[in-house]
Amino acid sequence: MDATILSPSDRARIVNAFTEYDRKQKGKKGYNPYALSHYCRAIENVEEYLSEGYTLRQAIIKSYLGRLCDRILKELGLPQMTTDEAKWGIR
């Protein structure tokens, strides 16, 4: 499969991770009921970064933040974000 295109199985695992994350956030103070649509839009950002030559892990770190990013990386079997990546991002 072309490395610049997100595989259907990876896409499904990303959707599964952020849907589960959103479900757990639902009862918490400050919950954003529109967040799920933003998470879906970020998949397009992942594909754009892949087409620019970033690895899947780098594309996810550039598209998602914090705990959600770590949950997606874990779902895909990729290493968690480092402290520097969380603080400064991917360049």
Q: How many CB atoms lie within 10 A of CB 55?
A: 13
Please tell me the predicted confidence (pLDDT) of residue 16.
96
Please tell me the predicted confidence (pLDDT) of residue 89.
78
Name the DSSP letter for residue 71: H
Q: In terms of C-beta density within 10 A (0-12 exposed, 13-18 middle, 19 or more buried), how is residue 22 classed? A: middle
Instruction: Enumerate the domain spans of the chain.
Output: 8-88
Please tell me the predicted confidence (pLDDT) of residue 78.
96
Please tell me the predicted confidence (pLDDT) of residue 7.
92
Q: Mean pLDDT in each 10-residue stretch from start to end of the chain (91 residues)?
A: 78 96 92 93 95 94 94 96 86 72
Q: What's the pTM value of the predicted model, to 2 decimals? A: 0.88
Tokens 């400064």 identify what position?
88
